[in-house]
Amino acid sequence: MRIFKIFAAILAAGLVSSFAAPKDDVESRVEELLAKMTLEEKIGQMNQLSYSRVEPMMAAAKSGSLGSVLNLVDPATINRIQRAAVEESRLGIPVLFSRDVIHGFKTIFPIPLGMAASFDPEVVEAGARMAAEEATASGIRWTFSPMLDIARDPRWGRVAEGSGEDPYLDSRMAEAMVRGYQTDNLADPTAMAACIKHFVGYGAAEGGRDYNSTNIPPTLMHNVYLPPFEAAVKAGAQTAMTSFNDNDGIPSTGNRYLLRDVLREDWGFDGFVVTDWNSAGEMVVHGFAEDNKDAGRIALNAGVDMDMTTRAFVDYIPELIAEGKVKMEDVDNAVRNILRVKFRLGLFENPYVEEGLTEKEFYAEDHLAVAKKAAEESVILLQNNNNVLPLKGVKRLVVTGPMADAPYDQMGTWVFDGNERHTVTPLAALRDMYGKDVEIIYEPGVKYVRSDDTSDIAAAVNATKGADAVVAFVGEEARLSGEAHSLADIDLLGAQSELLAALKATGKPVVAVVMAGRPMTIGKDLANCDAMLYSFHPGTMGGPAIADLLFGKAVPSAKTPMSFLRLVGQVPLYYNHNMTGRPTNRPIRLLADLPVEQNQTSVGGTSNYLDVEHTPLFPFGFGLSYTTFEYSNIKLDKEVYGMNDVIRVEFDLKNTGDIDATEVAQLYTRDLVGSVARPVRELKKFDRIDLKAGESKHIIFELPVAELAFYNSELVKVVEPGKFQLWVAGDSDSGSPLSFEVK
Ligand code: GLC
């Protein structure tokens, strides 16, 4: 409906032209416009400023020195600045307005780590589409999303924004978000350009401390950190953002190999590259540039097209050209890349946002419905002793904990435009949806996640008298994850664990619901609850989703997108690790049973700890259901495959319980011998399979042998002949392998 309204307006204004300009038309229009531009106008396109006041923005727009603005979301002000650019500047080049729309704009979806836990690209695409509908209604046509940083360290606050530890899952999420934001017609006024970030390797920050150095060697870079970005480029992502980190001493904003050789030459990326916030200027702090002028030189020569907020281009490129330190050709190419995206977005035909759309788009019913579905599919059932869940026969329910009624924190990190007034908390949802049949008794127990005050725990304990069950909502406030919010200790903070212990002591069935921005070390808390649902900040509709999961109207299907640690000292811990020469594959003797003065070589000798199991508390891909599933008759169609073959795997999957449910079936492979040691398992395919109670389905997975390829030590992508193993299972630690060979 909306697109026709705008189309009609443009037709009336006689401004009509083809929305989806054909490719060669775009290129000719780019060249025609570039030929008219002065150096100042070219550099203006390469300059992105963060919105402060309208006057300087209008002035910059009128002078043609404003390529893009971030952090302005008021349609009327956007149109004012846009009119200055389009109707008053010499060439009328539209400004591109941008925003961090990371997991929703007004309707907030689960944080991306939660969306990844759904293993559901369809719901992720739908969420991105709705975020774009809401953001473009404000005039935003470029989002700094998807964030694709592979993360193996939950101390890093930004694990919240990505899709976890696995390149295959991250790649599928990347493609889904690019499709959702951009659609297949970028000129659609509800489409917004995606931005793949942070290019690249930012998630490997040493110590899990944000912005810290990374040391990712070339084969690991190509086999783990780069693939999701390549998938997003192949899906048509229009922009990329350089990351803050230096990898092996080279800041990404000055990394010519990444920006020119890999992104452009190898992958054929033809959008534009923007720096992260002042990351050009930060190359001075890194000790990689003399000053901002030098930073501008390095960034442009490395392949950066647009400078976010440093002003390194707009202030210094004329001098750098005059001094022969940068080439006019590189300036022209940067401007080509930027203009190309602007033409593709249809900004020249349709530069203004129709004002008044926001009321209809924001929090639209269908948006809230998908946000609830996404939240339901993102909550992981980690434990369910004695099948306490779903709650049955409960007439009096105690609801407690600091996250039971925390509308702001429930939305999670990177929420600029969502409003907590629209958040439906678990307490509100339980009262509203189940309060007729169930008496809901609320006692906070602990007022805030960081509060050490235990004085309210007694009231929560007392409230359990006569109650049938207790649900304790614990976790993290939104600001404990996200940018610059890393933690060295990822246990539940404050008095939350004490609250759970006190509730456990009542003998009542205790359900813990965790809402957090990362996999926390909740091992000791598992002992103090019968069941645990784990939700990565579930967003606006988290309450209704969790209420339906608690009472069984919805059934958990989510799987862990990151390994859960027993102790933070295990970090980094991830499933797709190498075997090492001394794997620990037998029970080890822990400290508790070590004799005193035992001799030096009597224990271990393998890659383990003396004080804790070396395995994760919960492996990647793990998640329980209210039913159980049985995998059987797993068969390969051959024992030996050629390089061009497709491996066909058949198996039966049965819902062996009495509740309809969904299982995320996963296919893993292992290359037993390689020219570089290969991981013990790698996810190669997954699918959500709906099964009614007792139902069995015969499933076929197909895997081209080509997808067994990896980058060898010469950085050549190869499939090496040899023996392989293959698993079909419900997580990365289950199942028995089948063997096959590639010749
Ligand atoms: C921030 C973040 C980046 C974000 C940008 C614009 O520092 O690193 O993810 O898109 O600045 O807000």
Kindly report, residue by residue over 213-232, the tens digit of the pLDDT: 999 999 999 999 999 999 99
Enter the pTM of the model. 0.96
Q: Is 731 a catalytic residue?
A: no
Give 415 Cα–ligand 1 centroid separation in angstroms.
Answer: 12
Give phi and psi for 233, each to the nearest 5: -65, -45
Q: What is the pLDDT of residue 692?
A: 98
Atom of ligand 1 nearest to the CA of 195: 10
Atom of ligand 1 nearest to the CA of 197: 9
Pocket of ligand 1 from Cβ distances under 6 Å: 70, 100, 144, 197, 276-277, 483
392: exposed, middle or buried (Cβ count in 10 Å: 0-12, 13-18, 19+): exposed
Q: What is the pLDDT of residue 427?
A: 98
Please identify which residue in the block is written with the tokens 């919240």: 160
**Ligand 1: which of 276, 308, 485, 486 to mutate, judged by most atoms within 8 Å of the beta carbon?**
276
Look at residues 603, 578, 740, 614 and name the one whose alpha carbon lies nearest to residue 667: 740
**Ligand 1: which of 161, 197, 277, 414 to mutate, judged by most atoms within 8 Å of the beta carbon?**
277
Neighbours of 123 (CB within 10 A): 24
* C-alpha to C-alpha distance for 530 and 521, rounded to whole angstroms: 17
Answer whether 142's CB lies under 8 Å from 83's CB. no
Give the start-end residues of each E strand in 194-245. Answer: 195-199, 239-242
Give 145 Cα–ligand 1 centroid separation in angstroms.
Answer: 10
Q: What is the pLDDT of residue 8?
A: 47
Give 157 Cα–ligand 1 centroid separation in angstroms.
Answer: 14
Give phi and psi for 510, each to the nearest 5: -115, 125
Atom of ligand 1 nearest to the CA of 147: 9
Kind of pairing between the strands at 710-711 and 717-718: antiparallel
* 546: Cα within 13 Å, side-chain hemisphere: 37
- CA distance to 72, 398, 434, 555, per residue, from 391 (Å): 45, 12, 12, 12
Q: What is the DSSP string of 518-583?
A: S----HHHHTT-SEEEEEE---TTHHHHHHHHHHTSS------SSPBPSSGGG-S--SS-B--SS-
- Determine which one of 149, 153, 276, 294 is catalytic: 276
What parts of the chain have a pLDDT lower than 50? Answer: 1-20
